[in-house]
Structure 1
Amino acid sequence: MKHVIFAVTLIACMNIHAQNVKVKSNGFVRVYNLQGKKIGKGKIHKVSETSLQLFRHGETMEFMVDDIGRIKTKRSGGNNVLVGAATGATAFAIVGIATADPRCLDLWL
């Protein structure tokens, strides 16, 4: 049992990074101001402590952090919930099967 929990914890912690990691993905985002109005959209070009640069149609747009109210990705919130729920269900199913009583598994097979 200890080995299974250790293995799952080790696998889950492999993708932990420090806070100052460079953005490797140039994903598509929408930028909204503090009032909720869309002020820009495009692929992430550069991120710094004070600004966000987006690239779209050959042009680079820069937005100051103080002017940004919200940043949305291409995916909706429901998609993020679905991916998280599916990942958690799969992980708990694997742990449940690995720690199940072998006599109970005979009923399933």
Structure 2
Amino acid sequence: MKTLLVLFSIMFCTPLFSQEPEAPLRFKDTFVRVFDVNGKKIAKGKIVNISEQTLTLKSGMGYSETGMDRIHLIKTRHSAANNVIIGALAGGVVGGIIGAEDTKDDWLFNSREGALLGALAGAPIGAGVGGLTLLFRKGNVYHIQGSEEAWEYFKDSMAR
């Protein structure tokens, strides 16, 4: 029986190592926001490709391509509101689940009201925790300003 188990393990695990792994690219799934000279956000999304003259991003269901000459600034993290909103949603859901737990001696409110109260109490707590995570998040800012050297530095730092 052990021999059969070892043979099946070898047979099913061998194909995993027979493929040549794709070269790891750091910039895959890196979220960036792109700004122009006036400070207006012109694109945002996850990096798909960085070529010699363009930056291709995927945002939602579509793709956007921005030329290097239009890019003034690139920030590599979400805005602060993103952490607060995600924290508030998580806190509301967890608080609602905890508040919905029904016990036999609850004569003041039922499980639906408990879930609502738990969500209302959990959302601000989650938003506070999301706000605290801003202290530990580190994002990079790349000043491109149409410079070839700055563009090469951005490409190199995203490839590492």
TM-score of the aligned structures, taking structure 2 as reference length: 0.33
When Rg is computed on C-alpha atoms for both structures, the one with the higher figure is 2
TM-score of the aligned structures, taking structure 1 as reference length: 0.48
